[in-house]
């Protein structure tokens, strides 16, 4: 027998291997597509576990499963559902994440070799999605509660100050002696605008709605100077320009930004301090750059605008810069921070020039 006699057999074996490889590849692609479809379905249902469970059968059936049943305890409510038939093989999983418990049975036919692995691959992807949904739900719920609790503590504290103000003022008005009336009137002139400003600030903290969209040309330099004066900050200001943004919003943006520098001054009173602010026109925009050029580098620059994260830990509400960024965004601009290693943070606000909106 010569080697030439073996050719037909070699060709047959080779072809078989190629065909098997192509078939396996097609099978793998099909499972990958099904897994992707499950991911997309989950995303389209906003990662809602009960909805996902109710709608996933079509994809699982495509993957060759014979049936599914599940029992879900969703924050104390029991729900269950089944689709398809009971097969010979059961793939069972129980997932528990605090107040959510899920028991799933996937029914499969008896499979051999590679089919068993393909089936397990889809099942595991499916279980992983379920588990992720459970954690996402829990994270959202806990996050909302934590934020609400934190907000409530802060608002309560500030509200107590306001009530204390009103109560002292009312008592002083009631008990005022004739010779003290001028002094009292001076106090009233200071207290009433402060109360108004704080009440508005509460409302702003509690709602995403911003003050009426009344837009007149406002000098950025004047707003910055006024805010710096209120916060008793020395600044080096260069340039000016007019923007069309709600005046209260602009004041609020300046207040929130300067508040951080005031905190720094109190925390590190012996540090040098040089707050440089430049206002420049760039095309249709006004660019306001703010930086304490002698300041310390920021340790967590990625957290600067994250709501409810504060460098002051639980002592800070963590919405100052977040709110500033939202307000700049609502005014058609952008607020960014550049934080290079070993350099102080530089805030850059870009706002449309007046008449360019």
Partner 1 sequence: MADESPEPNGSNSENSAVELLIVEDDPVLRLLIRNLLEGEGYSITEADNRLKAIELLKSNQNFAAVLLDLGLPPVEHSTTEGLAVLQMIQDSLHPAKVVVLTGQDEEKSALAAIRAGAFDFLSKPSKSEDILNAVNRALMFYQNERALAQEGLTLLQINAKVGDGLKAVREEAEEKLVKQVLKDTNFNIYQSAAKLGLKRESIYYFLKKFGIRRDDS
Residues in contact with partner 1 by the rule CB under 8 A: 153-154, 156-158, 160-161, 163-169, 171-172, 175, 180, 183-184, 187, 190-191, 194, 262-264, 266-267, 269, 312, 314-317
Our CB check for partner 1 shows the closer of 121 and 169 to be 169
Our CB check for partner 1 shows the closer of 193 and 329 to be 193
Our CB check for partner 1 shows the closer of 184 and 242 to be 184
| Minimum gap (Å) between residue 190 Cβ and partner 1 | 6
Our CB check for partner 1 shows the closer of 250 and 317 to be 317
| Minimum gap (Å) between residue 316 Cβ and partner 1 | 7
Our CB check for partner 1 shows the closer of 164 and 274 to be 164
Our CB check for partner 1 shows the closer of 32 and 262 to be 262
| Minimum gap (Å) between residue 294 Cβ and partner 1 | 18
Cα 146 to Cα 240: distance, rounded to the nearest angstrom:
41
Our CB check for partner 1 shows the closer of 150 and 215 to be 150
Record the tokens describing residue 240, joined without a space: 């000016």
Decide: 198 and 166 in contact? Cβ < 8 Å.
no
Taking each helix axis as running N to C, give the angle between helix 320-330 and helix 247-267, from 0 to 180 degrees, rounded to the nearest 10.
150
Cα 10 to Cα 186: distance, rounded to the nearest angstrom:
105
| Minimum gap (Å) between residue 155 Cβ and partner 1 | 10
| Minimum gap (Å) between residue 145 Cβ and partner 1 | 18
| Minimum gap (Å) between residue 181 Cβ and partner 1 | 12
| Minimum gap (Å) between residue 313 Cβ and partner 1 | 8
């Amino acid at each position: 027998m010569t080697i030439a006699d073996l050719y037909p057999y070699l060709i047959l074996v080779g072809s078989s291997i190629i065909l098997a490889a192509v078939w396996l590849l097609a099978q793998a692609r099909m499972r990958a597509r099904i897994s992707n479809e499950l991911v997309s379905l989950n995303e389209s249902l906003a990662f809602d576990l009960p909805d996902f469970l109710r709608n996933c059968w079509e994809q699982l059936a495509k993957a060759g499963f014979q049936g599914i049943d599940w029992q879900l305890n969703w924050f104390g409510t029991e729900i269950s559902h089944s689709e398809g038939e009971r097969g010979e093989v059961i793939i069972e999983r129980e997932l528990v994440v605090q107040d959510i418990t899920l028991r799933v049975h996937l029914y499969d036919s008896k499979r051999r070799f590679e089919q068993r692995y393909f089936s397990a691959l889809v099942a595991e992807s499916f279980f992983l999605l379920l588990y992720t949904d459970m954690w996402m739900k829990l994270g959202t719920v806990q996050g909302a509660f934590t934020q609400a609790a934190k907000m409530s503590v802060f608002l309560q504290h500030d509200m107590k100050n306001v009530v204390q103000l009103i109560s002292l003022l009312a008592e002083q008005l009631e008990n005022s002696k004739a010779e003290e009336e001028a002094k009292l009137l001076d106090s009233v002139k200071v207290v009433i605008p402060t109360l108004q400003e704080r009440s508005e600030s509460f409302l702003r903290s509690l709602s995403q709605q911003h003050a009426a969209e009344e837009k007149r040309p406002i000098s950025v330099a004047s707003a910055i100077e006024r805010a710096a004066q209120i916060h008793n900050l020395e600044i080096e200001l260069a340039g000016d320009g007019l923007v069309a943004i709600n005046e209260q919003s602009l004041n609020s943006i300046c207040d929130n930004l300067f508040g951080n520098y005031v905190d720094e001054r109190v925390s590190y009173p012996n540090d040098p301090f040089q707050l440089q602010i430049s206002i420049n026109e760039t095309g249709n925009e006004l660019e306001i750059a703010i930086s304490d050029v002698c300041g310390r580098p920021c340790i967590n620059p990625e957290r600067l605008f994250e709501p409810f994260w504060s460098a002051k830990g639980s002592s800070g509400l963590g919405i100052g810069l977040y709110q500033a960024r939202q307000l700049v965004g609502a005014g058609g601009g952008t607020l960014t921070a550049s934080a290079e290693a070993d350099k102080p943070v530089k805030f850059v606000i870009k706002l449309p020039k007046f008449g360019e909106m």
